[in-house]
């Protein structure tokens, strides 16, 4: 009984995407963890960024949009589909995905589709996330005076998750400082905090699922406007962590929680 059900149910993992081959380690790890949690369920991928899909296509890699992937899964006979948003906050990308899933669910004779929220959604998520971060940063690493996390940031209202998350991170350590490249707080606010604390040694870490383009360039790049260059110019000693959040099982566990919930709902 359980087996027949599983063959009818599929999982679709939807990420923004990355064009960085090295950043795939993070996606491979998510897939591995999802496979461990749901060994009998087929897992498929989609990238929500049209820009990334186009970029990959020009180098011969074909990745579906969430909508294309859902159509294919329907055609391939899946009757229930669990869609996991691998985005960080419920911003624009998640909103678009939510709209698509809602639309698909209105089609007659179509698979039942459930969508699980992104990494940071509920109070429990933010708590688990900051505890996970605290575990990931080893006691040896904690010799650094501060950890600066570089999130993406957005002009979408959900940007409020970033200053919100800072509150949760504060419960773990006053060493944790969060900034974003496109939202609030930004690097100027981060620098104000660092100056107030009289800090000299910093570790920079991406607050993104993969250490892709933003981590390589905006955070760690050699150009004068990267966070590393700006902070070094200000006299800070900067070390780097080039690992995406999805490389850490403590963090991936939050996505798996979300997926578990909708898989349970689908089995009802
Ligand atoms: Co971006």
pLDDT, tens digit (0-9, with 9 covering 90-100), for 58-76: 999 999 999 999 999 999 9
Ligand 1 centroid to residue 142 C-alpha, Å: 29
Angle between helices 24-37 and 249-267 (to 10 degrees): 40
- pTM reported for the whole predicted model: 0.94
**Per-residue model confidence (pLDDT) at position 1:** 39
> Each residue of 126-136: pLDDT tens digit?
999 999 999 99
Residue with the larger pLDDT of the pair 268 and 29: 29
Q: State in Å, rounded, how far the first CA of the chain is from the last one.
A: 13
Q: Is 77 left (phi over 0), alpha (psi -120 to 50) or beta?
A: left
> Which band of pLDDT confidence, cut at 50, 70 and 90, is reported for residue 243?
very high
Tokens 């501060």 sit on residue: 146
Is residue 3 over pLDDT 70?
no
When pLDDT is averaged across residues 112-136 and rounded to a whole number, the result is 98
| Torsion sign (Cα): 40, 5, 84, 147 | negative
152 a catalytic residue: yes
Ligand 1 centroid to residue 49 C-alpha, Å: 10
| Torsion sign (Cα): 106, 109, 112, 113 | negative
**Contacts (Cβ under 8 Å, ≥6 apart) of 51:** none
> Which band of pLDDT confidence, cut at 50, 70 and 90, is reported for residue 220?
very high
> Which band of pLDDT confidence, cut at 50, 70 and 90, is reported for residue 158?
very high
**Per-residue model confidence (pLDDT) at position 140:** 76
Residue with the larger pLDDT of the pair 120 and 145: 120
Ligand 1 centroid to residue 16 C-alpha, Å: 9
Is residue 205 over pLDDT 50?
yes
Which is the catalytic residue, given 87, 98, 123, 152? 152
**Per-residue model confidence (pLDDT) at position 139:** 74
**Per-residue model confidence (pLDDT) at position 7:** 58
> Which band of pLDDT confidence, cut at 50, 70 and 90, is reported for residue 22?
confident
When pLDDT is averaged across residues 6-30 and rounded to a whole number, the result is 90
Is residue 5 over pLDDT 70?
no
Write the DSSP assignment of the chain as a string of letters: -HHHHHHHEEEEEEE---S-GGGHHHHHHHHHHHHHHSTTSEEEEEE--HHHHHHHHHTT-----HHHHHHHHHHTT-SEEEEEE--SSSSHHHHHHHHHHHHHTTSTT--EEEEE--SS-SHHHHHHHHHHHHHHS-TTGGGSSEEEEEE---SSGGGGHHHHHHHHHHHH-TTEEEEESSSSS-HHHHHHHHHHHT--EEEEEE-SSS--HIIIIIIT-SSTTSHHHHHHHTT-EEEE----GGG-HHHHHHHHHHHHHHHHHHH-
**Per-residue model confidence (pLDDT) at position 142:** 75
Ligand 1 centroid to residue 222 C-alpha, Å: 18
Ligand 1 centroid to residue 100 C-alpha, Å: 21
Ligand 1 centroid to residue 17 C-alpha, Å: 10
> Which band of pLDDT confidence, cut at 50, 70 and 90, is reported for residue 164?
very high
């Amino acid at each position: 009984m359980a087996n027949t059900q599983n063959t009818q149910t599929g999982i679709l993992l939807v990420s923004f995407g990355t064009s960085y081959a090295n950043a795939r380690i993070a996606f491979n790890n998510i897939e591995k963890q999802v496979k461990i949690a749901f060994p009998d369920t087929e897992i498929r991928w989609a990238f929500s960024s049209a820009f990334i899909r186009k970029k990959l296509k020009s180098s011969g890699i074909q990745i579906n949009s969430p909508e294309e992937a859902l159509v294919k899964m329907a055609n391939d006979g899946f009757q229930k589909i669990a869609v996991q948003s691998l985005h960080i906050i419920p911003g624009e990308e998640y909103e678009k995905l939510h709209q698509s899933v809602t639309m698909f669910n209105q089609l007659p004779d179509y698979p039942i589709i459930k969508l699980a929220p992104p990494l940071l959604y509920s109070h429990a998520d933010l708590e688990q996330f900051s505890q996970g971060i605290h575990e990931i940063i080893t006691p040896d690493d904690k010799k650094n005076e501060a950890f600066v996390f570089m999130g993406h940031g957005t002009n979408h209202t959900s940007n409020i998750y970033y200053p919100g998350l800072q509150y949760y991170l504060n419960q773990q350590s006053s060493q944790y400082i969060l900034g974003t490249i496109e939202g609030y707080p930004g690097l100027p606010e981060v620098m104000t905090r660092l100056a107030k604390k009289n800090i000299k040694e910093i570790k920079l870490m991406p607050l993104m699922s993969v250490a892709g383009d933003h981590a390589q360039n905006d955070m760690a790049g050699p150009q004068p406007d990267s966070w590393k260059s700006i902070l070094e110019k200000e006299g800070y000693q900067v070390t780097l962590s080039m690992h995406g959040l999805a490389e850490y099982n403590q963090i991936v566990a939050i996505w798996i929680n979300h997926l578990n919930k909708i898989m349970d709902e689908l089995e009802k």
